[in-house]
Amino acid sequence: MVEYAIANVLAFPLTIAIERLRKQGIAYEVIRTLPQKRREELIWRDQDAYVVKQTVTPDYKVILTVACKCRKEV
């Protein structure tokens, strides 16, 4: 049985998480989450996105659930 050492990228910025998974040659999928309130005000920027959940499928594909910092100033 072959074991794969998949990088733990939980809480990493999305760009760094993708870079680490690509270096290991691991397939991945990104799922974006949106806030419950004020969705229309959110401006998605990949540089502000970070991993909030990391799941590995039985075929060793990594599913990254990501959120984006809103940076709403008052």
* CB-based contacts of 20, cutoff 8 Å, min separation 6: 7, 9, 12
Q: Is residue 2 part of a domain?
A: no
Residue 4 lies in a domain: no
What is the model's pLDDT at position 59?
92
b/e sequence 22-36, b meaning 16+ C-beta within 10 Å: eeeebebeeeeeeee
Q: Identify whether 73 is part of a domain.
A: no
Residue 25 domain flag: yes
- Backbone torsions φ then ψ of 11, nearest 5 degrees: 75, 5
In a domain, 8, yes or no: no
Q: Evaluate if residue 73 carries a pLDDT over 60.
A: no
pLDDT of residue 72: 62
**pLDDT digit string, tens, across residues 27-72:** 999 999 988 887 777 788 888 999 999 999 999 999 999 999 876 6
User: Can you tell me whether residue 71 is helix, strand or coil?
Assistant: coil
61: containing domain: 14-68
Q: How confident is the model at residue 3 (pLDDT cuts 50, 70, 90)?
A: low
Q: Report, as an integer, the average pLDDT of 5-23.
A: 95
Q: State the pTM of this model.
A: 0.85
Question: Can you tell me the distance from the alpha carbon of 28 to that of 22, in angstroms, rounded to the nearest whole number?
Answer: 9
Count structural domains, the chain: 1
